[in-house]
Chain A
Amino acid sequence: MQREDSQRMWNKILAIFIILILLSSSVSASIIDTIWGLITKPLKGVLKSWEHVLKNPKHLITHWGKHFAHEELEEKGEKSRTFAYVFLLGLFTRTVTKDISENINRYILINPDPLHEGVKSTVYSFIHLLIPFYVLALVSLGAYILFLSTSPKGRSRAKSMVSKLIIGMILVTISPHLLNFFFTLSENVTKNILTQGEEEVTDAVGTYTGVMWGSFWMTVGAIYGVNAMGKIVTEIVTRASGMAYDRYAYEWVFRYGRVRSVRLLKIISESLPKLKVEAEPGRTIPMLMLSITLFIGVYGILAFRYLMVMFFTLLFPFTIFFLCFDPTKKLGGTLLEQLLLWTFVQEFYAIILVAIGTGMIMLPEDLLGYGFGIWPLTISFFDLAACFTLMLGPIILFMLLRKLLPPL
């Protein structure tokens, strides 16, 4: 019923509009001509746009591609947009690689400081929170010993529990210092590993930054195409004589470019209109994903590790209490295990870095040549595998050592 109603309404509206069009005084030419033109003109236009296809069948694919690959390729300002994209991605890559090659040791070694004012006060407030629980536990145990336990076995067990609880109480009060000692230990071990394999670590970080740059240059290549790249190269070489263009041109520009920045801007503004954009930035999403994955894989994991260690540091008094009270022993074991594991992730990271460095140094030179991409814009499979090892290695070690403590 409803459909019919709407149908009728539509017919009416359409009819009114058609009558309006027909009666419209703005239509000065004869009506038939207009309608005829309305039908034929667009057809003619379409036919015209397909004319060269019909004449030269080779164009069929390009024409189809235009229609079907990406309809809005003819959007506004593609040159400036793509240039901004490439520029920002370059900036990002540059800062990330610089940061990581400078600070990786610091990032790996950082641990929460349990003696820091805020952390300490929080831990002590948790200890205050624990007091009623302790009282409750002791009272219940005392009641058990006094009234309920009949067998001497049970009584001795309860007594040992009391002594455990008291030891736990002492440990809880010094827990920040305990943790500080433990973290220092872990840091020293990690530091040792890192200084032992300094060369390897540098090499591993170099591999990582290399892949990051490789991804960036692949993006550039995908957008501007190999020919356009060649054009830029000749342009720059001819214009700025003495300016060597290589893989690290960006770095060069940042180091020395300040002096000639005006000149550089001129070069860019002159060569930009000549660039031929061959793909929209949306087509380079795989490379962008690679860059972001690498970024998250290192920074995200390190930051997450830090936060998790902080989490279990704050919980440490509870951990000791749970461990020393028999019914909640399992929970305390889990908490302690997690604390140890998340702290040891820094050792895992150092080990993985050294392992990657060693592997990359030991690798025969010719094997590094195999990769994907079109020369010279390639990323070696081994480099990529090294990067993914850097990302996943610590997690894998973490998972393998999950059953670290003996069952309690």
Chain B
Amino acid sequence: MDKKSRIFTLLVVILLLSTLVNAGGALLGIIDVAIKEGLKLVAKGWIVSTGWQVIDFYEKIFDSFPLLLTTNPPMSEITSGMFFFIKIIAPFYILAIVILALYILMASSSMRGRAKAKSMLTNLIIGLVLISLSPGVLKVFFIISENLANALISMGANAGISALKGASSGLYWKFSKLTLIHRTGGIELFAIHTTLLFGLTIMLLLRHVMVILFGMLLPLAFFLYLFYPTKHIGKGLFMQTFLWTFMPIAWILALVIIGTVIGSIPSYIPEFYILIAALFFFIGSPMMILGVGDWLAFLVFLFEVLQAAPLSIGAVVIDETMK
């Protein structure tokens, strides 16, 4: 607790004690008001301490940051799903090969048609290899991502994490002081704060889910990639797998960068802003670096969710639809 708040609490206590001294006196109003204010202070303190409990609850996710960012879900869980999809693909595969073979044998009379069919057959066979290798491909992805993450995280990600923690505690202190003056004074900051932390938690957990989901779909992605009409879907699925697997690299890089450059920012910029900007930057970094979606639209959307103001919903809706 810093000096200011100590003085503040001292003043409150003196106020209360002075009313106590005056209790026998004639200033009945002051007693009543002081007691009322004291009780209100207790109620406000209750609000602040409850807020602290919940913020503390959410802030525990920061402890798990290194673990969540450097690990991927174990392969054993994913391979069962992969085999499920391979089982689904297999009959189609057999059908495709048989039809192609029949086509080559019987139907194709022209040279060009036969060449096309042959290249298709090679494609299919390459696909067969790829599909059967897909657990291995995913495993390679995981190994690369985990090794990179481990190498990067040892380069000072902890400073970045503590910056994020600092942003959180800065917001909390502003909320608590405003709340101690008036009951509803800082509710808005609290809403923003919890939404940010909750969003952070969900993003980190969602990555694991998405890695499992797109990892299970990897054979399907290879299968779809082989046929010209569905090529871009296969590519999209593969890219999704890639991006969700390598997203922690962007995050850790953001943390390392925050930790490295935060000292070189001139001192006349208040620290609070630096920390909050670090938090926003951490949230937006995968979108920024890997170009996933539009990170700015994401920020605007976040702001809308927080404020729910009718002011700019129209603008955002138009922006989203007209894009």
**How far is it, in angstroms, between the C-alpha of A71 and the C-alpha of B40 when the chains are bound?**
12
**How far is it, in angstroms, between the C-alpha of A289 and the C-alpha of B322 when the chains are bound?**
25
Q: Does B309 contact A (CB under 8 A)?
A: yes
Q: Does B318 contact A (CB under 8 A)?
A: yes
The listed residue (A71, A292, A392, A400) touching B311 by CB distance below 8 A is A292
| Residues in B neighbouring A396, C-beta threshold 8 A | 318, 322
Q: Does B310 contact A (CB under 8 A)?
A: yes
| Residues in A neighbouring B314, C-beta threshold 8 A | 388, 391-392
Q: How far is the CB of A211 from chain B (nearest CB, A)?
A: 14
Main secondary structure of the interface of B (DSSP, over half): helix
What per-residue 1/0 map shows which CB atoms of B295-319 lie under 8 Å from chain A?
A: 0000000000000011100110011
The listed residue (A71, A72, A289, A392) touching B310 by CB distance below 8 A is A289
Is there contact, CB below 8 Å, between B309 and A289?
yes
What per-residue 1/0 map shows which CB atoms of A384-408 lie under 8 Å from chain B?
A: 0000100110011001101000000
Chain A residue, CB-CB nearest to B313: A293
Q: Does B235 contact A (CB under 8 A)?
A: no
Chain A residue, CB-CB nearest to B317: A392
Chain A residue, CB-CB nearest to B315: A395
Q: Does A47 contact B (CB under 8 A)?
A: no
Q: Does B208 contact A (CB under 8 A)?
A: no
Is there contact, CB below 8 Å, between A395 and B318?
yes
Is there contact, CB below 8 Å, between A399 and B322?
yes
| Residues in B neighbouring A296, C-beta threshold 8 A | 311
Q: Between A and B, how many residue pairs show CB distances below 8 Å?
A: 24
Chain B residue, CB-CB nearest to A289: B310
Chain B residue, CB-CB nearest to A395: B318
| Residues in B neighbouring A395, C-beta threshold 8 A | 315, 318
Q: How far is the CB of B323 from chain A (nearest CB, A)?
A: 9
Q: Does B183 contact A (CB under 8 A)?
A: yes
**How far is it, in angstroms, between the C-alpha of A402 and the C-alpha of B319 when the chains are bound?**
12
Contacts beyond the supplied A289-B310, A388-B314, A399-B319: 10 A-B pairs with Cβ under 8 Å: A72-B183, A289-B309, A290-B310, A293-B310, A391-B314, A392-B318, A395-B318, A399-B318, A400-B322, A402-B322
Q: How far is the CB of B25 from chain A (nearest CB, A)?
A: 13
| Residues in B neighbouring A293, C-beta threshold 8 A | 310-311
Would you list which residues of chain A between 204 and 228 have a CB under 8 Å from chain B?
A: none
Q: How far is the CB of A121 from chain B (nearest CB, A)?
A: 31
**How far is it, in angstroms, between the C-alpha of A393 and the C-alpha of B17 when the chains are bound?**
63
**How far is it, in angstroms, between the C-alpha of A392 and the C-alpha of B183 when the chains are bound?**
37
| Residues in B neighbouring A399, C-beta threshold 8 A | 318-319, 322
Q: How far is the CB of B73 from chain A (nearest CB, A)?
A: 35
**How far is it, in angstroms, between the C-alpha of A72 and the C-alpha of B314 when the chains are bound?**
34
| Residues in B neighbouring A400, C-beta threshold 8 A | 322
Chain B residue, CB-CB nearest to A286: B310
| Residues in B neighbouring A71, C-beta threshold 8 A | 183
| Residues in A neighbouring B183, C-beta threshold 8 A | 71-72
Q: How far is the CB of A96 from chain B (nearest CB, A)?
A: 16
| Residues in A neighbouring B311, C-beta threshold 8 A | 289, 292-293, 296
| Residues in A neighbouring B309, C-beta threshold 8 A | 289
Chain A residue, CB-CB nearest to B322: A399
Q: How far is the CB of B192 from chain A (nearest CB, A)?
A: 18
**How far is it, in angstroms, between the C-alpha of A392 and the C-alpha of B319 when the chains are bound?**
11
**How far is it, in angstroms, between the C-alpha of A301 and the C-alpha of B297 when the chains are bound?**
20
Q: How far is the CB of B186 from chain A (nearest CB, A)?
A: 15
**How far is it, in angstroms, between the C-alpha of A292 and the C-alpha of B309 when the chains are bound?**
11
Interface pairs (24), CB distance under 8 Å: A71-B183, A72-B183, A289-B309, A289-B310, A289-B311, A290-B310, A292-B311, A293-B310, A293-B311, A296-B311, A388-B314, A391-B314, A392-B314, A392-B315, A392-B318, A395-B315, A395-B318, A396-B318, A396-B322, A399-B318, A399-B319, A399-B322, A400-B322, A402-B322
Would you list which residues of chain B between 234 and 283 have a CB under 8 Å from chain A?
A: none
Chain A residue, CB-CB nearest to B23: A26
Chain B residue, CB-CB nearest to A392: B314
Would you list which residues of chain A between 348 and 403 have a CB under 8 Å from chain B?
A: 388, 391-392, 395-396, 399-400, 402
Q: How far is the CB of B204 from chain A (nearest CB, A)?
A: 29
